[in-house]
Amino acid sequence: MVKIIVEKKLLEEKLAQVKDGDLVELAFVPPQNDHGDYSPAFLHLAAIHSEGIYEDLESIDEFVFDLCTQESA
């Protein structure tokens, strides 16, 4: 299974652009390392409107946090 963690607020902002009855396309793009240049994973979103029009909603970068600095409960 492939997973990605994104901030809820950012996802809600993108989904708010989609009207009821439309479709949402979600594309996971994995992280990449190109000769030392690191690009984090991201989630790309698009809306497919009921009229068949494709609207690019752009993307949300993966949320990255350092587990070592998290305080234990």
**Per-residue pLDDT tens for 34-50?**
998 988 899 999 999 98
Q: Among residues of the chain, what percentage have pLDDT more than 90?
A: 73
- Tokens standing for residue 1: 């299974």
Whether the CB-CB separation of 6 and 60 falls below 8 Å is answered with yes
Kindly report the average pLDDT of the chain as a whole number. Answer: 89
- SS3 of residue 55 by DSSP: strand
Q: How many CA atoms lie within 13 A of 73 on its CB side?
A: 0
Per-residue pLDDT band at 67 (split at 50, 70, 90): low
Q: Yes or no: say if 58 and 64 are a contact pair by the CB < 8 Å rule.
A: no
